[in-house]
Structure 1
Amino acid sequence: MTGQVSWAHTQVHQRVHSVMTAAMRADARTIDTVLLSLGDGGLDPYSREFVREARRLVLACTAALTCVLSAHRPGAGPRGDEICRGCGTSDCRTLHGVADVLAAYAVRPLTVDRAEAWRRADAWFNREGDPVPVGIAEFADGFAAWRVTAAPGETAQVAVIDGRCGALTLWPPLPLGTLAREYGEYRRTNPAPG
């Protein structure tokens, strides 16, 4: 589905995930150490408490928004058209409202780094529970990832993780230069939202 609800859901999901990822990457112990090193001269008590609790608060808010996204997600309407499952409309005011607030505060999806690309590829290739090592290579528009060891009879697939939005697409095994050219063309003809 590629209607308004899917587009809005993708916009909000990318931004919420970006904020949650930034908070998860923050080290609470380092924040506490810096706050302790400032002593009484650095911040007023309210600002100090806010900084100390910011990571936890951001994680709580993004978890709450994730609940909103799970309710207001795309689905098929009674006539086969796309609707929001939460409100039953083709133009979800909730998703647009959240997207507008995030845009007003300049929340943008993070670019995907090598570690995040590996995490997404690992989750994809190991989703069925049998862990396998995952290889990864970077190119201009993203990352190519593959199972280092394939099961007998398994068709090799390469997962491409977009470097801008983190979207994962599956590709046949190609040399990295060829894959980079093909993915660059794919990206020009299928621009990711956001």
Structure 2
Amino acid sequence: MLQFDNLSGDLRKKNLSNADFSYVDLRNLDLSYSNLRNVDLSNATLTNVNLTGADLRDINLFETHFIYADLSYTNLSGVDFNETDLSYTNLRNTNLIDAKLISVVLRGANLYGANLYGADLTQANLTGTNLINANLSNSNLSNSNLSNANLMSANLKNTNLKNADLRNTDLRDADLTGANLTGVNLVGADLVGTKFDIIID
């Protein structure tokens, strides 16, 4: 595995697969459209990094710091985020199919149009998150905090929302057909045009 202590310069469209960036400070770098598959980013700092369009499959993200990073249009399918802090990141149109996002902090993140089909977001902090047009079908959002999030036109079919906090959430035109709404807090939520049937266990 390639090892680095620090990086600088133009790293766009580079093949960096299998590299070891553990504990490396990568803040403010441009890694857009690079191949970062199977990279070790454990304990790395990626604050304000540009990862637009990068291939991030099979990466190690243990205690990685992504605050304000741009992860739009990246491939993160099946990735285990291990309680990663993704506050205020740009995840627009990102592939997060089957991603493991248990207890992840996504406060204020932009997930517009992201594909989170089958993702596990148990106990995730999604306060104030932009999830407009996101696909959350068949995902697990049990015990998650979605207060003040924007889920307008989101696909939440067959999603597990048991005990989720949806206070003051924008759910206009969202589809919650088949969703588990046991113990959900919908106080102040905008439900205009929302589709749902009540499934309680």
TM over 0.5: no
Q: Which of structures 1 and 2 has the larger relative contact order (alpha carbons within 8 angstroms, sep 6+)?
A: 1
Higher strand share goes to which structure? Answer: 1
Q: TM-score, normalised by structure 1?
A: 0.22
Structure with the greater alpha carbon radius of gyration: 1
Higher helix share goes to which structure? Answer: 1
